[in-house]
Structure 1
Amino acid sequence: MKKIIVIGGGNMGFTYAEGIFNANIADIQIIDKSEERIAEINAMNKMKATSSYDVLVEADLVFLAVKPQIAPLVFEDIKTIVNKEQVFVSVMAGMTIETIQQGLGVNKIIRCMPNLPASIQLGMTTYVGSKEVDKENLALVGSILKSTGKAFEVQNEDMIDSTTGISGSGTAYIFYFMNALATAAQDFGFSSEEAKTLTAQTFEGAIELYKQNDISLEDWMNRVASKGGTTRAALNNFEDNKVHQLIKNGTIACVDRAKELAKDKR
């Protein structure tokens, strides 16, 4: 059984560690620098947690799940411990494969773009490997990522940045739209709990209809909106205010920022 070490016991790092543990596909351990967090993880009686980087010498795969801004400091601490036979899996936003290779002096890197729903096994993750990663390890990492929702390999690293603009940050866009609906509901006199139910159930129902049927989003809108009706009034207002284009512009701004961050970290 392979040995996997996760550096970073925060939300995303712990999510993947727990997925690996539950799937029983590898021996898993977490490294974190917070003694309080280490105690919390060890108290669960699942995975072991430690503050020592020395355990990295035992690893076949290393998940890098620290904040991008502290990654250079982590690289300095571990680059004399790790080796070129190990595979490194990064879930750090804006950190390129080349930057990690140079920072650690290693070659085998798999870069991922997860999103927050991975914490409840409903995540969407894309990933791509450097040319030095073999098919066996790429498949293993793919199966690990799928333990937290859906995942697929993309053709090149630029598509990781593109994913950031859709699924990586997209959860926040959806919360933004939901917040507008929930606020409108309260303005109409519904309680906060009623507004939450109205908003959440409407989104959940629409998503399931879309997933379970081979019907385009435009067709779904037309099925709900009759000519001259109430729904059409709302959609016409959105179109008049160019909401569709503004959302697309937001995704472009997100992708552009992801590329800027990647350049800054080189």
Structure 2
Amino acid sequence: MKIAIIGFGNLGKTFASSFIKSRFIKSEDIHVVTRTLPKPEMTLGIPMVNFQNIPSSEITGMDILILATKPQDFDVVAKGLNGLISEEQMVLSVMAGVSIEKIKDKLNVKKVIRSMPNLGTQIGLGMTVFSASAETDRKDLFIIQNLINTTGKSIYAEDESLINPATAVSGSGPAYVFYFMNAMIKAAEKFGFTSSEAEVLVHQTFLGAINLQSASDLSNEELIVKVASKGGTTESALKVFNAHDLDKIIADGMRSANRRAIELGA
């Protein structure tokens, strides 16, 4: 299987690296189109001859084309690819906000998969939601999901409209976690812990909680009850969170992220 990656930024590099490390795709079968050619030591083992500044006829021989450019650059990229893509090639997009229909129209292709990966893909713990055009069959989806799963886990959404909420949940999600962690670190420092001590306290707490939740059959509500004994310290903190409707604030923030994702795709 041969793959062309258009764009060699963070996501383009992440996918190339994951494909190679998983041995799903050979490095020599990956071709890259990028504005700036990388130094030989930054190619991830992909032969330098496989890097191009502008798309060439080699694109026509690729089985899958991955669009890893910025969404605002898509119109220009599409013009550069004009006449080089056949109707039967699969196109996997990791561009935020660009619809399947627009990609089909601009590139004159039928099989388009639109995905929303998150930051965790960089370390193989990503969460990606993807949807596909009607012309994409089960075999195609199986291949694409296996490719995506080299970067973590994935969920297939039959309804493309779920890609925007996925952006609000998992796409932006890591930033919500970092925000909460940062708030806890600042609070710990005000208690008197040093910056490094506060970092360790909060980091290990999150790491332990995530692994505990993953290993447990209990729901999040049940796990909260296990930590929050009646009349104890945790219950006291949770009362403050509830009094300020923290769950509603989080939901409102995610709804705002969803609205913005819709606006960007308009």
Say yes or no: TM over 0.5.
yes
Instruction: Return the alpha-carbon distance in structure 1 between the equivalents of residues 229 and 22 of structure 2.
Output: 48
Matches within 5 A, 1:68-217: 68-217=71-220
Q: Which amino acid aligns with 1:212?
A: A
Shift of 1:52: 3.1
- Checking the alignment, whether the CA contact within 8 Å between 1:186 and 1:192 is kept in structure 2 is yes
The aligned counterpart of 1:262 is: 265
Shift of 1:155: 2.0
- Checking the alignment, whether the CA contact within 8 Å between 1:21 and 1:28 is kept in structure 2 is no
Question: Greater shift after overlay, 165-174 or 98-107?
Answer: 98-107
Instruction: Return the alpha-carbon distance in structure 1 between the equivalents of residues 249 and 80 of structure 2.
Output: 43
Residue number among 225, 241, 244 corresponding to 1:241 in the alignment = 244
- Checking the alignment, whether the CA contact within 8 Å between 1:23 and 1:147 is kept in structure 2 is yes
- Checking the alignment, whether the CA contact within 8 Å between 2:54 and 2:80 is kept in structure 1 is no
- Checking the alignment, whether the CA contact within 8 Å between 1:6 and 1:28 is kept in structure 2 is yes
SS in 2 for 1:85: coil
When the two chains are superposed, the root-mean-square deviation of aligned CA atoms in Å is 1.4
Q: What do the CA deviations read for 1:153-204 (whole angstroms, capped 9, x no partner)?
A: 1121011111111111101100110010111111112122111111111111
The aligned counterpart of 2:32 is: 30
SS in 1 for 2:201: helix
Aligned residues between the structures = 260
The aligned counterpart of 1:20 is: 19
- Checking the alignment, whether the CA contact within 8 Å between 2:132 and 2:158 is kept in structure 1 is no
Residue number among 55, 61, 84 corresponding to 1:53 in the alignment = 55
Scaled by the length of structure 1, the TM-score of the pair is 0.94
Q: What do the CA deviations read for 1:63-112 (whole angstroms, capped 9, x no partner)?
A: 00001111111011112211211100000111110111111121110011
Q: What do the CA deviations read for 1:26-85 (whole angstroms, capped 9, x no partner)?
A: 3212211113x364533x434543223113122110000001111111011112211211
Question: Greater shift after overlay, 22-31 or 173-182?
Answer: 22-31
Shift of 1:24: 2.7
Structure 1: runs of 5 or more not aligned: none
Instruction: Return the alpha-carbon distance in structure 2 between the equivalents of residues 7 and 38 of structure 1.
Output: 17
Residue 4 of structure 2 is aligned to residue 5 of structure 1 = yes
Q: Which amino acid aligns with 1:68?
A: P
Instruction: State percent identity of aligned pairs.
Output: 39
- Checking the alignment, whether the CA contact within 8 Å between 1:41 and 1:49 is kept in structure 2 is no
Instruction: Return the alpha-carbon distance in structure 1 between the equivalents of residues 46 and 80 of structure 2.
Output: 27
The aligned counterpart of 1:41 is: 42
Q: Which amino acid aligns with 2:42?
A: I
Instruction: Return the alpha-carbon distance in structure 1 between the equivalents of residues 263 and 41 of structure 2.
Output: 36
Could you list the structure 1 runs, at least 4 aligned residues long, displaced by more than 6 angstroms after superposition: none
SS in 2 for 1:106: coil
Instruction: Return the alpha-carbon distance in structure 2 between the equivalents of residues 199 and 67 of structure 1.
Output: 34
Scaled by the length of structure 2, the TM-score of the pair is 0.94
Shift of 1:152: 2.1
SS in 1 for 2:85: coil
- Checking the alignment, whether the CA contact within 8 Å between 2:30 and 2:46 is kept in structure 1 is no
Instruction: Return the alpha-carbon distance in structure 2 between the equivalents of residues 86 and 204 of structure 1.
Output: 41
Residue 228 of structure 2 is aligned to residue 225 of structure 1 = yes
- Checking the alignment, whether the CA contact within 8 Å between 1:21 and 1:46 is kept in structure 2 is no
